[in-house]
């Protein structure tokens, strides 16, 4: 079993839709959870960063962590064509290793 599982999609939605992106993980040592957005042929940029279980909101983006289920989500409200990108979850453990473990990424297309 891979450490982090993420459905690669592709996911296609109409403009204005609510988008739900998810990852599951197997290692309970993961304590930090991040979502990155990567446009084609560009480096990833950090969207959201969470530490504890629960929700964290930033504008149209909400990150949700359920440590008991080892399940993390990113919700995008009122999706825009400019949100079209690949979204990667990334996790790392508390202290010690600084290594980020990335999901495969989900390719999202928002159609106008």
Partner 1 sequence: GAVVSQHPSWVICKSGTSVKIECRSLDFQATTMFWYRQFPKQSLMLMATSNEGSKATYEQGVEKDKFLINHASLTLSTLTVTSAHPEDSSFYICSARPLAGRFDSYEQYFGPGTRLTVT
Binding residues for partner 1 restricted to 32-71, rule: CB under 8 A: 32, 36, 41-46, 49
Neighbours of 87 (CB within 10 A): 24
Question: Residue 20 or residue 31: which is nearer to partner 1 going by CB?
Answer: 31
- In the bound state with partner 1, the residue whose beta carbon lies nearer, of 64 and 103, is 103
- Does 29 bind partner 1 (CB under 8 A)? Our answer is no
Judged by CB under 8 A, the residue of 30, 91, 103, 108 near partner 1 is: 103
Beta strands of the chain (E only): which ranges?
Answer: 4-5, 11-14, 19-25, 30-38, 45-50, 54-58, 61-66, 71-76, 85-93, 101-102, 106-111
| Paired tokens of 52 | 């504890």
82 near partner 1, judged by CB under 8 A: no
For residues 79 and 53, what is the distance between their CA atoms, to the nearest angstrom? Answer: 25
Nearer to partner 1, 43 or 59 (CB): 43
Enumerate binding residues for partner 1 (CB under 8 A): 6, 8, 32, 36, 41-46, 49, 88, 98-100, 102-105
């Amino acid at each position: 079993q891979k450490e982090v599982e993420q459905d690669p999609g592709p996911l296609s939605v109409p403009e204005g839709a609510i988008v739900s992106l998810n990852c599951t993980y197997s290692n309970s040592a993961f304590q930090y959870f991040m979502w990155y957005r990567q446009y084609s042929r560009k480096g990833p940029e950090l969207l959201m960063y969470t530490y504890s279980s629960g929700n964290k909101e930033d504008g149209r983006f909400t990150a949700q962590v359920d440590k008991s289920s080892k399940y993390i989500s990113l919700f995008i409200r009122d999706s825009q064509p400019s949100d079209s990108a690949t979204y990667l979850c990334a996790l790392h453990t508390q202290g010690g290793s600084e290594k980020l473990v990335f999901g495969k990424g989900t390719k999202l297309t928002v159609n106008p």
